[in-house]
Amino acid sequence: ARPRTPPAIKTDVETMAGGVRGLAQALTAKQYDFKKLDPRQLSALQDPQFVTAGLRVRAYDQQVCHTPN
C-alpha cells in the first residue's frame, strides 16, 4: 500500500493489491487471454479474505470519504 493509505484500511488495500497483482501477472503470462487462465487464478478474486477486504475498503470509502453507493 502507498504511504498515503489510511491506517484503518492499509492491510485491506494490501490484500486487494496482492490479488489484483497476481491476476495481472497471470494474464501477462497468458498474453491477456482470460480463456487460457487456470480457474484457480481467477478464484483468488473470490477468496474470502480478498472479498472481505474489498467490502471494508468500500465501507470506508462510503463512510469516511462520503462516496455515494
Digit-coded pLDDT (tens) for 7-40:
999 999 999 999 999 999 999 999 999 999 998 8
Of 22, 54, 49, 50, nearest to 38 by C-alpha is: 22
pLDDT, averaged across the chain: 92
- What counts of helices (H) and strands (E) characterise the chain? 3, 0
Please check whether residue 12 is in contact with residue 18, taking contact to mean a CB–CB distance below 8 angstroms: no
In this prediction, residue 2 has a pLDDT band, given cuts at 50, 70 and 90, of low
What pLDDT band is residue 1 in, cutting at 50, 70 and 90? low
Is the pTM here over 0.95, yes or no? no
